[in-house]
Amino acid sequence: QVQLQESGPGLVKPSQTVSLTCTVSGGSMTTTNFFWSWIRQPPGKGLEWIGYIAFDGRTYYNPSLKSRTSISRDTSENHFTLHLSSVTPEDTAVYYCARIYASLWWDEYDSWGQGTQVTVSS
C-alpha cells in the first residue's frame, strides 16, 4: 500500500518561492495510469487542485496557477516537488500531495498525505 508524506517550510514571506516535497513509499512514480498531484485547502474554503506529474513525466497545471507553478520529480529518491513562486497571503493553505488512479471509467484519489500547513506572512 502506497504512503505519501509532505515536507517543507511552514512559514514563507510574500514574493518568495515555496518548495514542498512529497515522499512516496510502497509505489513507483513510473507505473502506468498513476498521476502524482498537489492539492491545497485555504482556511474555511474547499479543496483546490494545483497540478500533477504523470507516470511518463508529463505535467499539467490548474490554469489559474500555471504561471507560478512547477512540479518536478526524482524517481531515484521517490519524491516529487511543488514550486510555487511569487506567493501572497492568498496562498496560505494546507497543502496535500495525493495519488490519482486513472481507471477505464473515472479518476480516483486513492492515497493522500497528511497535509502540511503553509502560511505566507511578512
pLDDT of residue 46: 97
Q: What is the pLDDT of residues 23-54, one digit of tens each?
A: 999 999 999 999 999 999 999 999 999 999 99
Q: How far is CA 28 from the centre of its chain?
A: 16
pLDDT of residue 48: 98
Supply 110's cell numbers: 486513492
Q: What is the pLDDT of residues 63-84, one digit of tens each?
A: 999 999 999 999 999 999 999 9
* Alpha carbons 19 and 110: distance in angstroms, whole number: 24
Say how many C-beta atoms besides its own lie within 10 A of residue 81's C-beta. Answer: 18
- Would you call 68 helix, strand, or coil by DSSP? helix
pLDDT of residue 29: 96
